[in-house]
Amino acid sequence: MTPIKNNLEPVFRTGDPTGKGTGGQPIWREDFEDEFHPRLRHGKPFKVSMTNAGPNSNGSQFFITVIEGMNVVQKINQVPKIRKSGLRRNEISIISITLI
């Protein structure tokens, strides 16, 4: 499990085992190329995408859009952040996830 670092409702970013905000190593042991499809957008639920620092720099971080449970998103948004890092004061982790 890695903590949810920050979120822009209704999207959560996670997948940083270092806890430093820089991400970790992907399973291929090096960053990998972007995989885009021009029709895919993130304005709707059911989306999972990689977070990167520029072209072809995908590592371990990813973000997901929420399809139900907006009350959970709202509760997470109420947890205070540490001003300097932007991290939540209390660690919030994904315990279980189902991809449809």
Residue with tokens 């885009």: 36
Tell me, letter by letter, the H, E, C secondary structure of 8-67: ECCEEEECCCCCCCCCCCCCCCCCECCCCCCCCCCCCCCCEEECCCCCCCECCCEEEECC
- Would you state the pLDDT for residue 62? 77
Q: pLDDT > 70: what percent of the chain?
A: 63
**Residue 11, pLDDT score:** 65
14 — phi, psi (to 5°)?
-155, -170
Higher pLDDT, 98 or 49: 49
Pick the CATH number of 1-100 from 1.10.10.10, 3.50.50.60, 2.40.100.10, 3.40.50.300: 2.40.100.10
CA 71 – CA 64 distance, rounded (Å): 16
Per-residue pLDDT band at 3 (split at 50, 70, 90): low
Tell me the mean pLDDT in the region 62-76: 76
Q: pTM higher than 0.75, yes or no?
A: no
**The pLDDT of residue 1:** 46
Question: How large is the average pLDDT for residues 53-59?
Answer: 76
Q: Which DSSP letter does residue 85 get?
A: T
